[in-house]
Amino acid sequence: MNSATQQKPAAAPTSADGNRKRIGLFGSTGSIGTQALEVIAANPDKFAVTVLTANSNFELLIEQAKKFRPQTVVIGDESKFQTVKQALAGTGAEVMAGDQSLVDAASLEHYDMMLAAIVGFAGLRPTLRAIENGKSIALANKETLVVAGDIVMQQAVEKRVPVIPVDSEHSAIFQCLIGETRNRIEKVVLTASGGPFLGKKPNYLVNVKREHALQHPNWNMGAKISVDSATLMNKGLEMIEAKWLFNLRPEQIQVVIHPQSIVHSFVQFEDSSIKAQMGLPDMKLPIQYAMAFPQRIANAFPRFDFSKSAQLTFEPPDIKTFRNLGLAMEALYKGGNLPCVLNAANEIAVYGFLRNRIGFLDMTEVIEQTMKKIHFIPKPTLEQYFESDGEARSFAASLMNL
Ligand code: NDP
């Protein structure tokens, strides 16, 4: 698709399990994964889970598998294989283990849609494999598009695979674009809550610790994305994600701080009309929307109440203080392997911060130095993305003596 008009989103294929869509839930033990299981449990006539995967949280994975009875269960950590296998003996589930099994599971026949809810670069290979096999994708794992968005989206077009966003901002844009296939987007505006440190300056941020950064005011999320929200890197990653999902030029993507997290994003068309999608901050809604698309499913989620005279406010982001957003914008504009390098350095920096190895502001230094150090490749192959990721990780880790 080109940026002049938008691609009409294809509906996910119908299920081979009666009317139920069979979900392959990759990253089932995380924040998105567990909320997706709540949606599935509430709609047993619409969804079945046939694949569950986790990295190391074998206890929760076993519990989930006993409850949802998938055909395949994958644990990344091979040392947990026997424990999971024994616990699920007699359930009929095939148990697999190891990183390669996470990728192989993406080729399995017995699911229709992958909910890509693995965190970080680790989600890229399974998602690519699912697309190769013609599976619809409900995409939470934004890093997949940050790292190799050109290759991933090209392959999705070739395989005629719908990639439906789960990220609330992108789900909002996706919903605003329904019925607008022939109309030009002037710009999209991604809203950001501002995170727990909105309004703070570097003299405050220099002292913040892991516990503070994990306290997001509006959303309850996994540790990595919570830190990314606190640094505003998350919004930068989302700008890059939006570029690939909606085929936009960098200058068409803006960010605005909206601390109440009620408006999930805006689309402005060439006639100056602006559409927004709104609702209370609850990831179950975009998860359900992506899994059920093109249908909407009635639910009992809490509703936003206009009679409570809530104030909705908007302000520009403070890029001078939250420099990670500026670095992500640099990567967005420059392209090539720079977003991949940014992502790798960020994953390592967040890892170091979460283990109290570096301070909050040091994360920016690690990312900036890594972006300067790694050789720029304007049009990388998939192999070169993997190499850039590896080089950036090693260099970033060396800066922190990891
Ligand atoms: P969590 O950290 O809560 O969960 C991550 C999941 O991925 C877990 O199931 C985890 O398994 C698994 N995992 C972690 N590392 C690996 C690995 N190396 N290989 C295979 N599996 C792995 O993350 P979230 O649910 O918060 O986020 C998931 C994705 O969704 C991220 O890309 C995030 O940016 C995106 N997202 C999240 C939102 C949210 O509200 N949480 C909102 C919008 C987007 P285990 O538990 O065993 O470690």
* Burial bucket for residue 381 (CB in 10 Å: 0-12, 13-18, 19+): exposed
Token output for 47:
């969804």
Whether the pLDDT of residue 7 is over 80: the answer is no
| Nearest Cα residue to 69 out of 109, 133, 25 | 25
Overall fold of domain 21-166: Rossmann fold (3.40.50)
**Sequence spans of domains, the chain:** 21-166, 184-278+314-333, 335-402
For residues 372-401, average pLDDT = 97
Query: Of how many residues is the chain composed?
Result: 402
For residues 275-283, average pLDDT = 97
Q: Which of 118, 163, 227 to mutate to test the pocket of ligand 1 (most atoms within 8 A of CB)?
A: 118
Task: Compute CA distances 116 → 19, 63, 168, 233, 370, whole Å.
Answer: 22, 20, 14, 20, 27
pLDDT number for residue 10: 52
Whether the pLDDT of residue 193 is over 90: the answer is yes
- Band of pLDDT at residue 114, cut at 50, 70 and 90: very high
At residue 190, the 3 state secondary structure works out as strand
pLDDT number for residue 219: 82
- Compute the distance from residue 223 Cα to the ligand 1 centre, in Å: 9
Q: Residues 183, 257: contact at Cβ < 8 Å?
A: no
Q: What is the pLDDT of residues 229-272, one digit of tens each?
A: 999 999 999 999 999 999 999 999 999 999 999 999 999 999 99
For residues 366-372, average pLDDT = 98
Whether the pLDDT of residue 122 is over 90: the answer is yes
The answer regarding whether domain 335-402 maps to CATH 1.10.1740.10 reads yes
Give, using CA atoms, the residue closest to atom 32 of ligand 1: 141
- Compute the distance from residue 74 Cα to the ligand 1 centre, in Å: 15
Q: What percent of the chain has pLDDT over 90?
A: 92
Q: Residues 30, 120: contact at Cβ < 8 Å?
A: no
- Band of pLDDT at residue 332, cut at 50, 70 and 90: very high
Q: Which residue has the tokens 């605005």?
A: 256
Q: Which atom of ligand 1 is nearest to the CA of 126?
A: 20
Higher-pLDDT residue of 220, 9: 220
- Band of pLDDT at residue 1, cut at 50, 70 and 90: very low
- Compute the distance from residue 33 Cα to the ligand 1 centre, in Å: 8
